[in-house]
């Protein structure tokens, strides 16, 4: 690989890192925003006095768990993304120093971290979807509870 190709690869890697970090920050913001909105919704129901504290309120707290799990998975994916880049740099330096034995280890670590970060990012999106569906079912349960209350 000549210097021109190396600079192109380096530039592409920097853009990929920026893009993946932006995506993970956006996912973190979405989960945190959903969590804050749910807490506000629950507190407005409690303070309005329209609902007695019962099983209907318990169903409204389930989505909070989904969004908290989404935050944790996204933070884990951010850590894995950092380790992916760390392993990639280790691989490149090992190859440049002629340490082919160590380069294989770094490359394996890079692949494991890369795939783990990708799975974590997809899982975070799935968890968000699960939280949204749980919000829907909780609101339907709340509506059914209010119609059945005397």
Domain edges within the chain: 63-150
Tens-digit pLDDT profile for residues 20-74: 889 999 999 999 999 999 999 888 888 877 666 566 677 888 899 999 999 999 9
Distance between first and last Cα of the chain: 77
Contacts of 75 (CB under 8 A, 6+ apart): 28
Calpha distance 20→14 (Å, rounded): 10
Flag whether pLDDT at 97 surpasses 70: no
Q: How confident is the model at residue 75 (pLDDT cuts 50, 70, 90)?
A: very high
Q: Work out the mean pLDDT of the chain and round it to a whole number.
A: 84
Flag whether pLDDT at 1 surpasses 80: no
The whole-number average pLDDT for the span 98-125 is 84
């Amino acid at each position: 690989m000549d210097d021109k190709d190396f600079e192109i690869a380096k530039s592409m890697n920097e853009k990929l890192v920026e893009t993946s970090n932006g995506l993970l920050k956006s996912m973190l913001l979405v989960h945190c925003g959903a969590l804050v909105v749910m807490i506000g919704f629950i507190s407005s129901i409690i303070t309005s006095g329209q609902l007695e504290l019962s099983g209907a309120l318990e169903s409204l707290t389930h989505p909070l768990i989904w969004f908290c799990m989404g935050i944790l998975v996204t933070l884990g994916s951010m850590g894995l993304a950092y380790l992916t880049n760390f392993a990639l740099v280790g691989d490149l330096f090992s190859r440049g120093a002629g340490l082919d034995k160590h380069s294989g280890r770094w490359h394996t670590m890079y692949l494991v971290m890369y795939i783990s970060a990708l799975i974590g990012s997809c899982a975070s999106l799935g968890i968000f979807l699960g939280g949204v569906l749980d919000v829907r079912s909780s609101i339907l349960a709340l509506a059914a509870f209010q119609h059945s209350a005397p």
